[in-house]
Amino acid sequence: MKKIIHMRRTFIAIEIPVTVKLKELLKLLRVDLREEKIKWVNPEILHITLSFIGDTSEEQVNYISEQLEKITSGYSSIELHFKELGVFPNLRKPRVFWIGMERNELLENLQGKIEVMLRNYGIKRENKPFSPHLTIARIKWIDDIDRLKYWLKKYRDKTIQKTKIGEVINYESKLTANGPVYNSIKKFPLKKDR
């Protein structure tokens, strides 16, 4: 009899708490773009994905947890500066609406170590550069592209939020009819600042 291997859809991320300023911006965007076909992300689940893994066996989950424990123990909390709004892939055909962030070498270094660990373990990786951002909405269709351009221009080079992050989380993602549900498998605290 064949053994059934239970797979979990996982990713490694940093949870981003939402400040009053960011909540206000999200509210303004929702109201101003309410006529468009946009699915807004619940602010309670905003995060920066460090690495999307996908289908993961229990053995892989355990290995990743052990390695994340080692990797994160070498880091203190990291301050992130979120600024400007943008879209992927482009303004002609926007699909993802996001908040960007200032380049942060510590975060890039941490993400790089996680990628190397996953690759060394034999977990297939996409070969694309790390582009940290907060996905705030998925755009199905937009009629008034000028409204979107207005917001992108208004927030060009403007700081939206500064956040100190103190942990990395290994998540399981479950897709539901109401959108994804994220459950923490394990949290890995970064060392407190000295």
Which residue in 89, 83, 93 sits closest to 154, CA to CA?
83
| 189 neighbors 68 (Cβ within 8 angstroms) | no
Just list the catalytic residues.
47, 133
- Per the DSSP assignment, residues forming a β-bridge with 175 are 180
When computed from its CA atoms, the radius of gyration of the chain, rounded to whole angstroms, is 18
Q: Which helix (H) or strand (E) holds 25?
A: helix 20-32
| 40 neighbors 28 (Cβ within 8 angstroms) | no
Strand duo 7-15 + 134-141: pairing: unpaired
| 54 neighbors 9 (Cβ within 8 angstroms) | yes
